[in-house]
């Protein structure tokens, strides 16, 4: 049974993450929103801190996710490891700024892919790199099985060819986890993930995207042209196992979707706090003792948003807890991501609306949070894809039976 009281050891690291958000991220949030593609030099001061957190097993989203469930109580057998720590920490840093959170050194989404699929030997080699994740291509978005980037074994090296778009931290990261097919004729079963160093011959950044939000984060288009990497840089087994499909690489999402949910939850909390202060200044009182329909219309709206936010928070806790306790959480990961993505967008947009002209201006950060929130409902699987996955799990349908 899940215990919703957070353990003290995770509170300490979450508090440290909140201090980073409050003292480093929030003060420069608008600066880098207005200076897209400019490298946030403030992040350099965080590298040592991040390495220290990772060494203690409490990194924000590092390669230890799902692999370090050592904290187990004798009474309940419950573990609170890297997934729960990652969720709580990313929630706090995203309260400060989502774009800067996505730019934290050594905390790329590719690190979660390494944690999900890597062998113990690979985790030893790649456990402390900064890995972005390259899945999407010009020809597809949400259908991860449509990968056309190829990987051909040539002696002791893999040769990769293809183009990847919307790669978060694609220019700044030290490594890129690339999804590619080793045999197009065998369909999705042949899709594997490869760890590609950013300085590998044949890998180049074609351009950086201009975006609606998360402007502090670099979003790159990567081109792989006869890109060569060592043979053992393929994550997991190189064998094509038709009966397993590409379940191995898809395990990545069971780790990353609750983390993305945490980003939306952190942003949503920031918007709620700002909105509450604005309403208080306007003389709107919010009461938990009086029915919402007997309160100011804005107060009633706020209570509904807060309840929605609380539901998203609890669903994300459940998904992360299940991952730490080695329980299959594909359904719960998709539920948490779908709920949080939708809630983050709804909360931030409604906060802009209720704040009126002040909310639409650049004086507070409300309009920025509204722009930042939309990507959290899109990447790591869109709202529609999450609902499709949930439907398949609940109805017991395969991807070919329910499209």
Return d(Cα 107, Cα 72) in angstroms, integer. 25
Q: Collapse the DSSP code of 164 into the 3-class scheme (helix H, G, I; strand E, B; otherwise coil) and give the result.
A: strand
Residues in the chain: 403
Alpha carbon 341 to its chain centroid, in Å, reads 11
Return d(Cα 315, Cα 260) in angstroms, integer. 12
Active-site residue, selected from the candidate residues 137, 274, 306, 380: 380
Give every CB contact of residue 253 below 8 A, 6+ residues apart in sequence.
Answer: 330, 333, 334, 380, 381
Return d(Cα 135, Cα 115) in angstroms, integer. 17
Token representation of residue 227: 């890109």
What are 67's strand-pairing partners? none
Cβ–Cβ under 8 Å, residues 186 and 264? no
Q: Which of 156, 232, 140, 225 is nearest to 192 (CA)?
A: 232
Q: At what angle do helices 366-376 and 330-354 cross, to 10 degrees?
A: 160
Return d(Cα 127, Cα 129) in angstroms, integer. 6
42 given a catalytic annotation: no
Return d(Cα 225, Cα 162) in angstroms, integer. 7
Give every CB contact of residue 208 below 8 A, 6+ residues apart in sequence.
Answer: 37, 171, 218, 219, 220, 221
The helix or strand, by DSSP H or E, that contains position 113, with its residue range, turns out to be helix 109-117
- Catalytic (active-site) positions: 380
């Amino acid at each position: 049974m899940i215990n919703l009281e957070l353990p003290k050891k995770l509170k300490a690291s979450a508090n440290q993450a909140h201090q980073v958000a409050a003292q480093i991220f929030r003060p420069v949030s608008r600066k880098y929103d207005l200076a897209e593609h400019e490298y946030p030099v403030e992040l350099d001061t965080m590298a040592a801190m991040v390495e220290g957190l990772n060494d203690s097993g409490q990194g924000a989203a590092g390669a230890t996710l799902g692999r370090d469930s050592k904290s187990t109580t004798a009474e309940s057998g419950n573990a609170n490891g890297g997934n729960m720590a990652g969720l709580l920490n990313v929630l706090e840093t995203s309260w400060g700024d989502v774009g800067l959170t996505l730019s934290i050194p050594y905390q790329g989404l590719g690190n979660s892919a390494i944690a999900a699929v890597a062998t113990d030997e690979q985790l030893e080699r790649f456990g402390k790199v900064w890995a972005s994740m390259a899945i999407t291509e010009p020809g597809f978005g949400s259908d991860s099985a449509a990968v056309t980037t190829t990987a051909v074994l040539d002696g002791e090296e893999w040769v990769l060819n293809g183009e990847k778009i919307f790669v978060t931290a694609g220019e700044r990261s030290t490594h890129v986890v690339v999804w590619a097919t080793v045999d197009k004729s065998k369909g999705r079963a042949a899709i594997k993930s490869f760890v590609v160093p950013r300085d590998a011959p044949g890998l180049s950044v074609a351009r950086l995207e201009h975006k609606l939000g998360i402007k502090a984060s670099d979003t790159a288009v990567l081109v792989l042209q006869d890109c060569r990497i060592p043979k053992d840089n393929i994550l997991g087994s190189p064998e094509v196992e038709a009966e397993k499909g590409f379940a191995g690489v898809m395990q990545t999402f069971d780790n990353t979707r609750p983390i993305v949910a945490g980003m939306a939850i952190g942003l949503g909390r920031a918007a709620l706090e700002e909105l509450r202060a604005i309403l208080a200044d306007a003389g709107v009182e919010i009461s938990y003792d009086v029915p919402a329909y007997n309160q100011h219309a804005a107060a009633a709206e706020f209570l509904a948003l807060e309840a929605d936010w609380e539901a998203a928070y609890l669903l994300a806790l459940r998904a992360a807890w299940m991952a730490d306790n080695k329980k299959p959480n594909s359904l719960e990961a998709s539920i948490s991501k779908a709920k949080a993505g939708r809630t983050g967008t709804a909360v931030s947009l409604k906060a802009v609306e209720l704040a009126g002209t002040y909310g639409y201006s650049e004086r507070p950060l409300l309009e920025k949070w509204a722009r930042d929130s939309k990507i959290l409902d899109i990447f790591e699987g869109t709202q529609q894809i999450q609902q499709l996955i949930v439907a398949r799990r609940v109805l017991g349908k395969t991807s070919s039976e329910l499209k």
